[in-house]
Amino acid sequence: MTVHKINSSDLENDYTLIAVHSNAEAYKLAFEINLKLKTNLEKSPFDITFGSNNSVFELFKHVSETYNTKLFLISNKSCNETMVDAPSLFENLSVSKHLVPELKKAEYLVKIEGGGFKIESLIKKLNEIDLIVSCYSTKINNNKSKYNLIFD
């Protein structure tokens, strides 16, 4: 059995990341993005999960073979109910985990792989959606967070 180690050069994937601030449900946001951008974001058959802390992040995906592009809408927050072992006033506590901890204030991320999008124009169209408070292009410097965005 061969072992493949991921180098830091493997993480330098050609993608653009957009942070999205919105209080809407993921499916509603995906629907509105589909209308505005004329895409076909669909719920992925799998969500992004991390077994160690039972975090689940919703994933929507659009693949355009015409433009050789993949577009992902990913929830950045996962709220889990955890049982408290110590005597407390509360039996369950809600704990938030973030897919990309550097972007704690962003509820969603849009990841674009490939294609020749004009990012400024795309961000302008996204900001026109009523459900979106604001969005902007961003970069991630932490390698651990970059690992979290490798899911396809």
pTM above 0.85? Answer: no
Indicate whether 4 pLDDT > 60.
no
- pLDDT at position 11 is 47
Indicate whether 10 pLDDT > 70.
no
Q: What is the pLDDT of residues 68-85, one digit of tens each?
A: 889 999 999 986 655 555
Residue from 147, 17, 132, 148 nearest 77 by CA = 148
3-class DSSP state of 29: helix
Contacts of 123 (CB under 8 A, 6+ apart): 18, 135, 136, 137
pLDDT tier, 5 (very low <50, low <70, confident <90, very high otherwise): low
Q: What is the pLDDT of residues 129-145, one digit of tens each?
A: 999 999 999 988 878 77
Residue extents of the structural domains in the chain? 13-148
Q: What is the pLDDT of residues 14-60, one digit of tens each?
A: 789 999 999 999 999 999 999 999 999 999 988 888 766 678 889 99
- By CB atoms closer than 10 A (0-12, 13-18, 19+), residue 12 is exposed
